[in-house]
Structure 1
Amino acid sequence: MAREPDKLHAVRTENERFTVTLIPAAAQAVTRLMGITGLSKTDTMNRAVQIYAFLAKEMADGKEVLLRDEDGNVERVHIV
């Protein structure tokens, strides 16, 4: 049985607008992502937040984030 959503974990069914102030490094990262992906600022931010939520959940469940290069070398990613 699904739990009842509380105020911090309410289920949203409509779009919600946020106003945020990004530090320079984050603003530059958004610009780089837009250039790499060709996505709009809104789509870039939406995807970034969803990916961060996914990774945070997986790490909270004890999983690791690993990157493998074309030579098969694996590197553990630390997200703080």
Structure 2
Amino acid sequence: MASADSLEAEVITSNERFTVTLIISALKAMQALMRLTGLSKTDVINRSVQVYGFLAEQMNDGKEVLLRDREGNLEKVHIL
């Protein structure tokens, strides 16, 4: 089995093509993101994976994801 470091190097040095089947909620979220951002499906998926990776690393380090509304109220985000 390859180590995480070698997999990371592989991802950085090459593009990979995938075929995925999205569940309905993920498809709706992707379509909403495309409308909101004007990005392509590929760009939405690439950015989504990057953001999820960043958040997973931060949570793994013991950090929390919080949202602050305009009034300054905080809400903890739970990512399952």
Given the two structures, how large is their TM-score scaled by the length of structure 2? 0.88
Residue deviations 1:2-51 (CA, integer Å, cap 9, x gap): xxxx6253112111101111100000100001111110000000000000
How large is the Cα RMSD of the aligned pairs? 1.2
1:66 matched to 2:66? The reply is yes
Q: Secondary structure at the residue paired with 1:46?
A: helix
Higher fraction of helix? 2
Mind listing any 5+ residue stretches in structure 2 that lack a counterpart? none
Cα separation, partners in 2 of 1:20 and 1:64, compared to 1, 3 Å: same
Given the two structures, how large is their TM-score scaled by the length of structure 1? 0.88
Q: State the alpha-carbon separation in 2 of the partners of residues 75 and 8 from structure 1.
A: 36
Mind listing any 5+ residue stretches in structure 1 that lack a counterpart? 1-5
